[in-house]
Structure 1
Amino acid sequence: MGTSVGIGFSTRRSPMEAGSEAARTALEQAGVSKPDLVIVFATVGYQQQQLIGAIREVTSGAPLCGCSGEGIIVQDAVVETNFAVGVMAIASDEVSFNITSVTGIGEDPRIAGESLAEKVCPLLAEDSRAFFLLADGLAFDFDPFVAAFEATLPASGRLPIFGGLAADNWASRKTYQYHNDEILSQGACCIVLSGNCRVAWGINHGCVPVGAKRTITRSKGNVIFEIDGTPALEVLKEYVDEDWAVKWNKATLNLGLGFRTPEHLRERYDEYYVRYIMAKDDEAGSVTIQSDVTDGTDLWIVRRDKELMLDGLKSIPRQIKEDLAGQKPKLVLQFECMGRGRVVFKEQERMDLVKSLQRDLGEELPWLGFYTYGEIGPISRYNCFHNFTSVVAVIY
């Protein structure tokens, strides 16, 4: 049989109708009645339990993993509305998928990382290839979570990690993670990929530094209190032209923090990696990002650059094709920063960008993605967290 994959998509407003339509189409394309895995990305306008319930019913209770996103990406559509759902149905006798999940990632990321690793360990095999991780974008602190996760795994189980952080259409109130019938928040879902397959990937951001180098002078975990001895918020205000109190969300769509990429990773990545400013505390003058920092770390204020983003997207297929070496992909998963969608590009531009990627890798490929609150993908052999990026993973 090999591997059969189908994609379904719906923008119906009824959660039951949307879930059923997307799931039926995915099964029809895959040519199966019960798949080995169902991956679901959906936006948050739906009653989530009803949506997932409908998909589970149509797919005969097949294992299901996924999360909410700011928008959905498939072969023929890029949709950023409150009502969109994409379903990937996979059946294979050469590749296997095991899923698990953990809750409470916002309470103690280290404990959550250890807990997920303990659940993952029994699912590992000699031919395990990668993990796909989908986590709450409003609660995730990557560094302590993944450090604890990898430290708890056996050495043979420290695999590449790909994925994205669940989003909620800019509301920053509540995101959702899907594990079979469960709808989680402050959770993380994991797919263990094993079997006769490999993963090729490409990663690119599209930001440029503005102004001089800065230094973090007071921080704790992923909270930055002072930059160059000044409250972090006061420093950031220097780079915002509009009314700060009113335009905070708009400002942070295009304004981020850039950190020097470690020397051993620069061959496969840009000079800087970028962090989204996920929260601020006006009273403390601090900002929170999605990975930890230490005092004395240099940083640059960075802005999105549209032309750099366009050029960068063209480099992703080149990166992937080098690894594919002529082999045919089985499926594609795309994790795209929410700020690389409608806030920067018009609808036709967004579609043109995605179609360009798809043409370069293969327009007939099963393709599913979502707009995220953060992206995960390895640089060389190191699992890394990204903001303001596109991460495209191809299973082949």
Structure 2
Amino acid sequence: MEFIEFGYGTSTDENSLKAGAHAASDALKMMKKYSEKPNIVFLYSSPDYDPEEVLNGVKLILRNSVQIVGGSSKYFSTGMGVGLGISINPKESGKKAVKDAVENLGMLPKLLYVITDFCKCEEQVLKGIIEELGVTIPIFGGVSSDDFEFEHTYQYGNDVYLDSIVCVAFGGDIVPKISYNNYEYGENSGKLENIITKSEKRSIEEIGNISAVKRYIEISGYKGTVTELEKDPEFYLSHPLGILDTTGDIHLKGPISIKNKKLITGSNISNSNELKIENIDKNAIKNIFETNTSVLNNTQPHYEPALTFCNISSFLSEINPDEIEKLIEKSDINPFFGSSTFGEISLKKYGNYSMSMCSFAPDLVTISAKEGIHMFTKHPATKETLIKIHDLGGSVKVEELAKSLGIHRRSAYDRIDPLLKYGFIEKDQAVINITEFGKLLLKFEF
């Protein structure tokens, strides 16, 4: 029985309005029960499109009654909040967005989904969110990206925003599972080398008291000049610098670009940090992806997800886009939904060279209890009937069930109809079988 229905659509139409309309139309065609009135809509678009026109195209199909990133359903609810001017007041904007999202939700959130602009102070935005939300609610999301111009990054939230953060609080009968990758540095060396001696927020000017770009060329083994390196993102994105933590994990920083003889990083960095260099190739990307999917597959409870959000660093995507496309297509976790990002938010962590995933599944234990109580109240005889099917081995013919209950065969059919409707049993011709959902209900002592 499907408790959360998900449909998706894409379009490559050159016209922004048509692209939005086609994508929305295709998403609705995949849905059955909620195709007339979907509960929540997530929208991503390429920076090549006009975001206003994309949104208008989507609204042409979905009408204004459907909120873009917001809404509710029988099994889960959402609330949305928007914070503006994050480059000016990052912490306060983050606090406002999450506060409004939780208030609009009207209950304790199970998950906070975040979309923020590339404002060069994302760490402060996340800090504001955590101060307002606390540390017990999982946070997942990413930073809007463009074609490495770092200028045209938009956010959708019933409208098109710039320099903003959009938060969506999810509540209800859902189970979110989050995975993210850490890099383990392979070299064991106690000797301090490549210490940052001059930096400012997200740029490194000197390493070991010499030009950061020249030092980077030395330690990376680049065979060209500074000018050639500046125009070779394929090389410097696949040979990032990072800093080690006490557990041996390396937090990759960049360079994500090289400007004015400075190494530009994707997140803040300070003087006195020791830099290590990594080489990210096809095998490394494959390992990162498979580590994430393995975590989701092996984390309890093993419920089938309705969908899995997936944020992949734009810097990783640029290294080998074909490999990432193949990994997604071949993965046993589907459907994936998400985007390439300039930063990835997972729990309390903020990264730049990472992949993060969040599976979204119905909480079958809670749903089975609620649905069971409702069914037993409305149809009292179903309780005895379900227990009897279980006592007979979980699989029984209708005639045998009727005989065991001491009722007429027609009465037995009347009793099993609600059980079929609620998904606690399934019928194969004249044989009744208890479903996994029904087995969950039987664990409760009603």
Equivalent residue in structure 2 for 1:193, among 170, 175, 180 = 170
Q: Which runs of 5+ in 2 are unaligned?
A: 362-446
AA aligned opposite 2:17? M
**Equivalences for residues 173-192 of structure 1 within 5 A:** 173-180=151-158, 182-192=159-169
Equivalent residue in structure 2 for 1:64, among 57, 60, 68 = 68
Q: Is the 8 A contact 2:153 2:162 kept in 1?
A: yes
Q: Is the 8 A contact 1:95 1:196 kept in 2?
A: yes
Q: CA separation in 1, counterparts of 2:293 and 2:203?
A: 35
Give the structure, 1 or 2, with the largest relative contact order (CA under 8 Å, sep 6 or more).
1
Greater share of residues in strand:
1
Residue 236 of structure 2 aligns with which residue?
252
Residue 48 of structure 2 aligns with which residue?
45
* Residues 130-159 of structure 1: per-residue CA shift (max 9 Å, x gap): 21111223x2422222122322x154x752
Equivalent residue in structure 1 for 2:126, among 143, 146, 151 = 146
Q: CA deviation at 1:245?
A: 2.2
Residue 104 of structure 1 aligns with which residue?
85
Q: Is the 8 A contact 1:38 1:63 kept in 2?
A: yes
Residue 8 of structure 1 aligns with which residue?
9
Q: CA separation in 2, counterparts of 1:351 and 1:336?
A: 11
Q: Is the 8 A contact 2:114 2:139 kept in 1?
A: yes
Residue 251 of structure 2 aligns with which residue?
273
Q: CA separation in 1, counterparts of 2:214 and 2:163?
A: 30
Residue 335 of structure 2 aligns with which residue?
366
Q: Is the 8 A contact 2:177 2:359 kept in 1?
A: yes
AA aligned opposite 1:192? A
AA aligned opposite 2:100? K
**Equivalences for residues 180-259 of structure 1 within 5 A:** 180=158, 182-204=159-181, 213-238=193-218, 239=220, 240-248=222-230, 249-259=233-243
Number of residue equivalences:
350
Q: CA deviation at 1:327?
A: 1.1
Q: Is the 8 A contact 1:214 1:227 kept in 2?
A: yes
AA aligned opposite 2:335? P
Q: CA deviation at 1:52?
A: 0.7
Q: Is the 8 A contact 1:203 1:389 kept in 2?
A: yes
Equivalent residue in structure 2 for 1:334, among 291, 310, 318 = 310
Q: Is the 8 A contact 1:5 1:90 kept in 2?
A: no
Q: Which runs of 5+ in 1 are unaligned?
A: 66-88
The alpha-carbon distance between structure 1 residues 223 and 117, as it changes in their structure 2 partners (threshold 3 A), is farther
Residue 294 of structure 2 aligns with which residue?
318
Q: CA separation in 1, counterparts of 2:105 and 2:276?
A: 40
Greater C-alpha radius of gyration: 2
Q: CA separation in 2, counterparts of 1:322 and 1:94?
A: 24
Query: Given the two structures, how large is their TM-score scaled by the length of structure 2?
Result: 0.71
Q: CA separation in 2, counterparts of 1:119 and 1:287?
A: 38
Q: SS of the residue aligned with 1:40?
A: coil
AA aligned opposite 2:143? L
What do you get for the CA RMSD once the two structures are aligned?
Answer: 2.8
Residue 69 of structure 1 aligns with which residue?
none
Q: Is the 8 A contact 2:83 2:97 kept in 1?
A: yes
Q: SS of the residue aligned with 1:102?
A: strand
Q: CA separation in 1, counterparts of 2:20 and 2:330?
A: 28
Q: SS of the residue aligned with 1:198?
A: strand
State which drifts further: 112-121 or 308-317: 112-121
Residue 368 of structure 2 aligns with which residue?
none
AA aligned opposite 2:293? P
Q: CA separation in 2, counterparts of 1:322 and 1:207?
A: 21
Q: SS of the residue aligned with 1:37?
A: coil
AA aligned opposite 1:39? F
